[in-house]
Structure 1
Amino acid sequence: MAGSFKTHRYETCTGSKQYKLLAYVISFLPYYWRAMQCARRYIEEGYDANHLANAGKYISAMLAAAVRWKYAVDPSPLWLAIVILSSTMATVYQLYWDFVKDWGLFSLSSRNFLLRDDLVLQNKTIYYASIAFNFALRLAWIETVLHLSLGPVENRLVDFLLASLEIIRRGHWNFYRLENEHLNNVGKFRAIKTVPLPFREMEYGE
């Protein structure tokens, strides 16, 4: 049994339905947790509809992941069309939220074309390059669905590289998200916010 890896092909594991289901569950959980966080903030912060809209972004990603899992199990032309449709809609939703809501860009009235009035970086080209970078990596799902042939490069290596780029994209996204949040906090005079502690305040002398 210990030497079975020498006689069984790699696809013996990855080609099974159980493996594909497990891969879907793993990809599903982060979206589920974030959607629940948005729902909680919606309730705790005065029923702000923006939190529900943000939850919708993660729900659309979950639906797209579910459809991609179904296509992996049943690779028919019908499911391929549904995958392309659902993933495209989810990607458009995510890109809008990235650029407009999280980064605060694409303000038509801004003195900086398609950006915003207040920028931390002086070189505007960096913002445009970051938009293109985020846009390109948001489309990485195309390779995972179509399995584009890259010649001698093995598919597993491509998947690893795309996963690594997704980590970089998220770190890159965080920079502009924090920049926008910082500028909004300063502009709305809420740069310092009191965080309530989870226990009763004790007065000195008790």
Structure 2
Amino acid sequence: MRIMRNIVFSPFYKVLMADFFMADQLTSQIPLLRHMEFAACYFMAGSFRANPYETCTTSQQYKHLAYVISFLPYYWRAMQCLRRYIEEHDINQLANAGKYVSAMVAAAVRFKYNVTPTPFWMSMVLISSSGATVYQLYWDFVKDWGFFTPKSRNLWLRDDLILKNKFTYYLSMMLNLVLRLAWAQSVMKIRINKNETRLLDFSLASLEIIRRGHWNFYRYLELV
């Protein structure tokens, strides 16, 4: 609870390792948070007694709250970076905050596209999401994992490798790249039924958990 308090009120508490580590995990738990929102609406608001199943997904209030939930984890993480920048005067923290701001912008544009699916907003989704993805991939590979070290004796990696098999690193880089592009399905407009949509959402959420697990593993290797 203390960690969650520190995350929610990020600008007002000193950011410890446990705080920013947990906040990073929350950015990968947005689908879970949105399902928790639906569960709260479905059971606590009494809609399961008096209203149809779709009530908690079609109302404007639900859609706006879903956007806020998608926005908050990135906001909290950005605030943590700003707090650390103020305390440590490390420009990398400011740049890291920019990564989360780009993710918030991309999420906002995708939300707008879902409401107004016009060619203009599709192009804005492609621009904002592609920019955010490039930003995130750079930070994953270079800043968090320590790869692409100039003049490294291990091509595209770093000098000190804990795992002996280099192929594992290259495979993880490719997997991280592919999973970072999962947002593309939101603009592909695949024609599937409701059950298939839920299965797709579940699959994408599971893939994000896998991607986060990879990130955690290599982030740990970078720290040891």
Aligned counterparts of 2:70 and 2:121: Cα–Cα separation in 1 = 19
1:95 aligns with 137
Any idea what the Cα deviations from partners look like across 1:123-164, whole Å, max 9, x if unmatched?
000000000111111001111232334799711110111011
Change (3 A) 1:2 1:143: closer
Q: Cα–Cα, structure 1 residues 81 and 17, in superposed 2: closer, same or farther, change >3 Å? A: farther
User: In the aligned structure 2, how far is the partner of 1:131 from the partner of 1:59?
Assistant: 23
Task: Give the C-alpha shift of residue 108 in structure 1.
Answer: 3.4
- Quick one: which amino acid aligns to residue 169 of structure 1? R
- Report the aligned-residue RMSD: 2.0
Is 1:124 matched up with 2:166? yes
User: Which of 48, 58, 66 pairs up with 1:15?
Assistant: 58
**How far apart are the structure 2 equivalents of 1:78 and 1:103?**
36
- The one-character-per-residue Cα deviations of 1:144-202 (angstroms, maximum 9, x if unpaired) are 232334799711110111011111211210110111122xxxxxxxxxxxxxxxxxxxx
Deviations 1:16-39 (A, max 9, x none): 332221111111111011001100
Q: Offset of 1:53 from its aligned partner?
A: 0.2
Provide the C-alpha distance between the structure 1 equivalents of 2:202 and 2:56, rounded to a whole number of angstroms.
17
TM-score after normalising by structure 2: 0.74
Match of 1:105 in 2: 147
Match in the other structure for 1:75:
117
After superposition, residues 43-192 of structure 1 pair within 5 angstroms as 43-45=86-88, 47-149=89-191, 154-182=196-224
SS in 2 for 1:154: helix
CA contact (8 A) 1:28 1:65 kept: yes
Amino acid aligned to 1:137: L
List gaps (5 residues or longer) in structure 2.
1-46
The structure showing larger relative contact order (alpha-carbon pairs under 8 Å, at least 6 residues apart) is: 2
The letter of the residue matching 2:68 is V
Q: Which has the larger radius of gyration?
A: 1
SS in 1 for 2:77: helix
Structure 1 gaps, min length 5: 183-206
Please name the residue that 2:69 is paired with.
Answer: 26
Give, in angstroms, the shift of residue 80 of structure 1. 0.9
Distance 1:129 1:152, change over 3 A: farther
Partner in structure 1 of residue 85 of structure 2: 42
Distance 2:190 2:138 in 1: 26
